[in-house]
Structure 1
């Protein structure tokens, strides 16, 4: 999944149009109507709670006084969070103790949806039952992931070539659970096979409670522009909530998406790891027409908080401990984007051998910057190795 966007369009605030205060998905109120996209290798429980906390409006905190509670409808700027996509086939076969690694969530994550992928209707129905029994508020079907290994199994966007099979999956999953059932999909396999409107209608006819559309084809991957006009077509075609996704990088983008498509909610993927404050900024912008940009001190606090959360999660679990160190290095390239001298920080993180040493590198770097002292040579851009790890190439925002 690319961190950068291809020639992003710059939008201004549309007159009189805002991101909706809420939307109702099968009786679950999502307020405000913003959604953290499911992203493989990204939206685990630590990142989800991190985003939810980054979106909170603390009483008396920055921006809190500017946000109209009647507009945002709650104290968090992120209305719904979603898990990484999880194999339904894997869920049905693995031990219950192992399932917890994939389906762990905490009470402060509600409302939360679990996303499944697969191609067998019965297996997906069983996976949905497991999701419901675990206590999730919704179950979502992934019909958008473009990753080759997923498509090769006829999962994710691979299913976009087989509407009859999708219909069977919809029927099986809808019949298996009582919680809201939603689907996230792309425009189609390629430009010669755009099926978003008939697929949305099929979802509505099958009893699904909402649809999310990433306005690119599978063939596009994450390249080119998201074609929002197709989100508008889907919105015109169905009465269930339609959530728009694709190229939302700023609050202005979120409002422009609503203005151009009439969508009921906005889903944000790639922008969230790069700017964890984006949901709070959207809520501020919706209420006031302006929003606060994070300071360097804010960014330091953000990086340190997330890394500390990762380390805490790994203290009692060796697998989680190794995963935490990997994620700290993986996310460094997102979190330090735009930080003066950030290349040197990324290098020192990359070279650190343990999680605590990574955290030490972050603290040394920002304490030096915030104290106004001169940077050490380590922070020079040319010191960054060419093979510095970026976001997991298998990450999938659907």
Structure 2
């Protein structure tokens, strides 16, 4: 009788007895992520479920990531097969307007220039001893594109899924803080005050409809390893531009995106177990991710300065900072910074073009790197 009572009581404290110090650290980190999402409005749709999943997986003996555990089911259902990020890309495509970049094709170049930080960070990660697949995943953080990071990590570096995903979404929410100092440091007052003329070119419906199809075919032929990413974002955009499947478009950017975001956040949080996450490598990954985003901004602004010189001062270099995939956040940052120096400046539409180009550029950057690694036999 006494033994039975003692055995029963020991079951009540089994969780405490199996509690690892790293689990406590991760529970605190999970709570911080929730706080940042709720109180500071830092990407709450992702950081709140990620933080909650992080807390759950670090409570001992819960069995949530064991076979048939509900977090394990969510993880297997959409992370192992890369389904979640691809479904989110359909929604992103349905919400993205590529007409600004079609009106000003030169902004495509800014979207391409904004990806150079990815490749430079890749080289730095390789120099620090990371294997090719992990270095690519770390470099992709610089795209400021959470779904792309998750796709690459879940496919080629699952052990880095947690830190890379948290870094991508955290830094994406910090774009309004990270970019302005870099923009001011690299440009002169005269450059920042440049007023750009807005040319209202009419993009035909046929052009807007053909754009996602052409990009999918051309991009898929050049870098087939990234075809799932490119195809899904362009599918969403094609549905939007066609106007023939309004219900599917609405579902993609609302109901499906919301449900998948919840499942994805919990699944990412579930990978953040203390013994796996709490190690020096995680800090290095976070630092490299921050470096990648800063370098993307640097290269984008520098290319903007080149366009400023080539066009005789007709292009404001600030719009180069919008050549990343944080859509439309980065474009708004450029608009706000431009008006700070010249109240008559209206850079939003030009920045939106660069931002839309950055959406395509980030996906193509990932596709190119994966295709090159495939050719080298690394993956």
Q: Which has the higher contact order (CA 8 A, sep 6+)?
A: 2
TM-score (norm 1): 0.30
Query: Normalized per residue, which structure has more strand?
Result: 1
**Greater radius of gyration (CA):** 2
Query: Normalized per residue, which structure has more helix?
Result: 2
TM-score (norm 2): 0.31
